[in-house]
Structure 1
């Protein structure tokens, strides 16, 4: 395993090395935002530039007040480039690739709140799609925070079991999952005739997966032809980008350079476990460190998630489990317990890998390395990046620990490290004192900086 060992980095950053910008609640690393204007935009006499303050954008006063209440004092780099383009008239499509923690959720929520005519609260005018009910609920929460001062803010959740068969979608802003939205439109419970803007979050996943991709396309084909389409994601593989450009034609584009995608505030580590069966014992040894903040353990299947949770509970550890087999209301309750700190260690599948913001998460454990392809034949760099992005939020630092136990998992992690051009810190299963010291150094540094707990998401 010499190749991976050669990528071992220096010890984790000392306390205070990753300070939060006092003027913004976002992590603002030194990255460049590349803007590519559509042909239509380039034909204009005065291409739009950047907005260095929210006031320059001509936002409704109530939205400005909401942004201030959330401690967005100035636009992030992504927001200052994207918002003028998204708010321009006539409306233009946008494809935006930006890592978690850079303000993309707030960017498209601000656009939606500015596009909607709030004097018509019962007429659907904006549709926001997400891959899971958890992310849809989180976007709904951010809309509520930024739009809290709008007198007629009206938001509906179009997720499984949320709207009865005889009910109607009668709110101006609708946040939902593709399958449920498609069914509601087909059953004529959702009048889409006045929709002005369509937002697709986690667009790489939404447009790539056969099921979700097909559903998103069918939903789009049911909507007005002149609707503004905004596609957002932390990653856009080449083949998905090609499809995105046909899904959102003549779109303006903003993106970060590939090597700048990795969340800089995360100390990425790996544990070389002697065997697959040893992974569980090492996980239990890490339990004390998991409870310093909050932690998420990612596993491959629902079955293994449940089995590990039951086994850890029987061994005296307090852990929760959340995956797609749970009913919607139970999933909402489990995530709320985790978000509020009643539950501090959560075992899950990839259902929580994308977009979920819980500010107290200081550790992510990849119990199983994310894989894709027939028979899990290929490493999944994008899912790895989304998973570890659940920690290191809001300018803090965090830890990700990936377990390897055989040649296949070693090769997969080595390929991910190569793709992302990252160094990995080696943790030794036979030197637990040093392992604890390395991890605690990072986590305690993160807690020392946690003087502000955000009130809403900033994915």
Structure 2
């Protein structure tokens, strides 16, 4: 897999994961620092390929992340004889779970709702479960996330597992509320947290682009991002709502700009197809909601555009700092260079970006003129992309 040496999080956490007595672990590390490798190796090392029943489980917030984690597991476990089962909803080939045979694969990777259905139908045994991983754990255990399902699965495994089950919680972000909750869930385990000030990504150059109005934002996408983005790799454009994703995609496509858009309202098979085309490099520009803000790994992504800044659903005047960090972390994977442009056109946008700057104690420089090719070229050169 062309690994030369472990990243910082791998060097610290792998001995903790792999050494008896197998203690629980809460691990926070920068986006793109190799967390997936840590828990995939952990799962592969603990299961017995001769036993045809589930012994390791990884729970993810989205089907896209579940697919991606399974791909890493298949690659790393290629010569082990270990098999995996993907527990995600499949509307294209829907068969009631009660009609399906029990899971005999050693590793289960999936979303909480579908995993719960499989365990409730007694088609997924948890009695031999040795290791349980929560990827994007802060989201999985947040009150407005998947906390109820996640805790139910965790309790069921801990009560039915005959051997005792190691719990691993991995994410790039843990806010104070989730951190306090996680510390109660994992009382006697190891905890690795990163100071808030150290979280912004050194390798990702962030910029502000002041635009006079929403139309000017679209002009920036057409004239600057499509123009320069093609030279530096692939681009992800983040918007706040499904409707915005649809509208921006229609506007750009109508004017002859090649791009695709993915959001939660699409059929699952359409979502899978669009993601695959982007992963295969067939499409260069992908518009998305926060569906892909977390964990989505594509090393060719060198540009992230915040068409809309991320805000908290209950308090739209407050930025969502964790989501912001996850979004810009789609570029600069594993130490590569990347750039993120925040498009601003209202006093509210400017207020949100000021709050983000204060939170991370990091001043974001401004692109001097939204219409100037030279200004964008200079920004990309400063980011090491041109």
User: Fold match, TM over 0.5?
Assistant: yes
Aligned to 2:320: 380
Deviations, residues 239-296 of structure 1 (Å, cap 9, x unaligned): 1011112222311011223222111111100111112343222222222122221000
User: Is 1:137 the equivalent of 2:71?
Assistant: no
User: Is 1:103 the equivalent of 2:103?
Assistant: no
* In 1, Cα distance between equivalents of 2:9 and 2:363: 26
* In 2, Cα distance between equivalents of 1:442 and 1:363: 13
Aligned to 1:175: 109
Shift of 1:330: 1.9
* In 2, Cα distance between equivalents of 1:333 and 1:276: 30
Deviations, residues 193-246 of structure 1 (Å, cap 9, x unaligned): 111111001111111143411111121122133311000000111110111122
Higher relative contact order (CA 8 A, sep 6+): 1
* In 1, Cα distance between equivalents of 2:291 and 2:251: 21
Equivalent of 2:253 in 299, 303, 313: 313
Aligned to 1:281: 219
Equivalent of 1:290 in 211, 221, 229: 229
Deviations, residues 98-156 of structure 1 (Å, cap 9, x unaligned): 01122211011111111111111x30001101110111111101111111121x12011
Deviations, residues 58-93 of structure 1 (Å, cap 9, x unaligned): xxxxxxxxxxxx122322221111111111212110
* In 1, Cα distance between equivalents of 2:152 and 2:367: 47
Alignment size in residue pairs: 375
Equivalent of 2:272 in 317, 332, 353: 332
SS of the residue 1:426 aligns to:
coil
1:135-214 correspondence runs (5 A): 135-150=65-80, 152-161=81-90, 164-165=95-96, 166-167=99-100, 168-214=102-148
Contact 2:33 2:333 in 1 (8 A): no
Contact 2:317 2:352 in 1 (8 A): no
Aligned to 1:453: none
Contact 1:127 1:198 in 2 (8 A): yes
User: Is 1:301 the equivalent of 2:260?
Assistant: no
Contact 2:139 2:145 in 1 (8 A): no
User: What root-mean-square deviation, in Å, do the aligned CA atoms of Structure 1 and Structure 2 show?
Assistant: 1.6
Aligned to 1:347: 287
Where in structure 2 are there 5+ consecutive unaligned residues?
none
SS of the residue 2:257 aligns to:
coil
Contact 1:399 1:442 in 2 (8 A): no
* In 2, Cα distance between equivalents of 1:361 and 1:348: 14
* In 1, Cα distance between equivalents of 2:250 and 2:130: 47
Aligned to 1:124: 54
* In 2, Cα distance between equivalents of 1:426 and 1:189: 55
Aligned to 1:271: 209
* In 2, Cα distance between equivalents of 1:251 and 1:317: 51
* In 1, Cα distance between equivalents of 2:79 and 2:195: 36
* In 1, Cα distance between equivalents of 2:22 and 2:94: 30
SS of the residue 2:157 aligns to:
coil
Aligned to 2:174: 236
Give the ranges of 4+ consecutive aligned residues of structure 1 lying more than 3 Å apart after TM superposition: 428-431
Contact 1:126 1:172 in 2 (8 A): yes
* In 2, Cα distance between equivalents of 1:423 and 1:434: 22
Equivalent of 1:393 in 333, 341, 344: 333
SS of the residue 2:30 aligns to:
coil
Shift of 1:158: 0.4
Contact 1:282 1:429 in 2 (8 A): no
SS of the residue 2:48 aligns to:
coil
Shift of 1:373: 4.2
When structure 1 is superposed on structure 2, of 156-165 and 136-145 the one drifting more is 156-165
* In 1, Cα distance between equivalents of 2:370 and 2:34: 41
